[in-house]
Amino acid sequence: MESTARVKLYVAISFLYNAEDWFRFATVNESEANMEIIIKPDYPAVCDEAAGMILKAWKKKPNLVLGLATGKTPLGLYEKLIALHRSGQMDFSEVVTFSLDEYYGLDESHPQSFAAYMDHHLYKHINIRPENVHRLHGRPQDIEEHCRAYERKIRSVGGIDIQVLGIGKNGHIGFNEPGSSLTSRTRLKALTRETVEANASLFTDEEEIPRFSLTMGIGTILESKMILLLASGEDKADIVARAVEGPLTAFVPASILQLHPQAKFILDEEAAARLTLKDYYRWAFENKGRLSASKEKG
């Protein structure tokens, strides 16, 4: 199917499912309604940019609701958030978080669980309240009800203000692997053979190697008010170019972010290397800086 026809079909279907959210999208201030590509010289600068945006949002809303990813990419961002907390610039006592995903079958105490990752790399270093930390559990009694309850919880706090994402080399966001429905909600998902094989070395017992995950759906992610997708390194350059400049397709789940009015791809030079319009993105971002500086001057 032509990509434009695909977009129209997606918009029509998701409108039927979720009219209220699309109404919110449609009413976002026109001047803000753009996916944005931000290119930074290196990985620390990517993390600085993302941390700066989170800090700015928190200053306006101390009970900020964050959706948080695991993996290699956000590690530097979490270090920056911890540093902001330690230097007294950011207080997490009212901040609320939601995990993006979790391996199915692992207890929270398992060292490879995403729960353990978040505790180790962020939560134990900041003053977040345990009751404000929401996670997908690896061994829920009733999977479907657990996923539905997670969605209800997100809605009950007014939705996710900022969702942090990485991107898989195949274009996945969360564990929404290629072919995932673009309107999907939080659910159980089979991991790809590559993901299972890549994880194998982390587990001593073969039986423990996760073959499924629980993940926010693409539809769930799209309802976040702002999305920060971070990518670093040359091994992400191809998929970043396909997600940002390629056709919108379920075969590259991250390409759906082209439709989100507040999606920001924050990239280092290596991850941005294959973008055809990278000079334009740089130019547009610099000029945006000039515009806000002149607005501030009055």
Q: Is 69 in the site for ligand F6R (CB under 6 A)?
A: yes
Q: Is 71 in the site for ligand F6R (CB under 6 A)?
A: yes
Of 101, 161, 268, 269, which residue is the catalytic one? 101
CA 268 to chain centre: 17
Q: Which one among 14, 25, 64, 101 touches ligand F6R, defined by CB under 6 A?
A: 101
**Minimum gap (Å) between residue 17 Cβ and ligand F6R:** 23
Stretch that binds ligand F6R, among 153-161, 170-178, 179-187, 241-249 (CB under 6 A): 170-178
The Cα 231–Cα 72 span in angstroms is 10
The Cα 166–Cα 155 span in angstroms is 23
Q: Is 166 in the site for ligand F6R (CB under 6 A)?
A: yes
DSSP letters along 60-82, please? H-TT-EEEE--SSTTHHHHHHHH
Of 102, 161, 177, 269, which residue is the catalytic one? 177
**Minimum gap (Å) between residue 108 Cβ and ligand F6R:** 15
Total binding residues for ligand F6R by CB under 6 A?
A: 14
- Ramachandran category for residue 88: left, alpha or beta (phi over 0 → left; psi -120 to 50 → alpha): left
Do the beta carbons of residue 257 and residue 35 sit within 8 Å?
Answer: yes
**Minimum gap (Å) between residue 224 Cβ and ligand F6R:** 14
Active-site residue flag, 101: yes
Q: Is 100 in the site for ligand F6R (CB under 6 A)?
A: yes
Q: Which one among 40, 85, 172, 278 touches ligand F6R, defined by CB under 6 A?
A: 172
Active-site residue flag, 132: no
Active-site residue flag, 21: no
Single out the residue of 106, 109, 84, 107 nearest to residue 95, CA to CA: 84
Q: Which one among 67, 76, 171, 174 touches ligand F6R, defined by CB under 6 A?
A: 174
Taking the least distance from each CB to ligand F6R, the nearer of 46 and 275 is: 46
Residue identified by tokens 């539809």 is: 219
Active-site residue flag, 208: no
Compute φ and ψ for 260, nearest 5 degrees.
-90, 130
Of 85, 121, 137, 172, which residue is the catalytic one? 172
Contacts 24+ apart (CB under 8 A), 147-153: 147/185, 147/186, 147/187, 147/188, 147/214, 148/186, 150/98, 150/186, 150/216, 151/185, 151/186, 151/220, 153/98
Exposed/middle/buried for residue 142 (C-beta within 10 Å: 0-12, 13-18, 19+): exposed
Q: Is 168 in the site for ligand F6R (CB under 6 A)?
A: yes
Q: Which one among 14, 73, 184, 249 touches ligand F6R, defined by CB under 6 A?
A: 73
CA 297 to chain centre: 34
- Which residues are annotated as catalytic? 101, 170, 172, 177
Q: Give the footprint of ligand F6R on this chain (CB under 6 A).
A: 69-73, 100-101, 166-168, 172-175
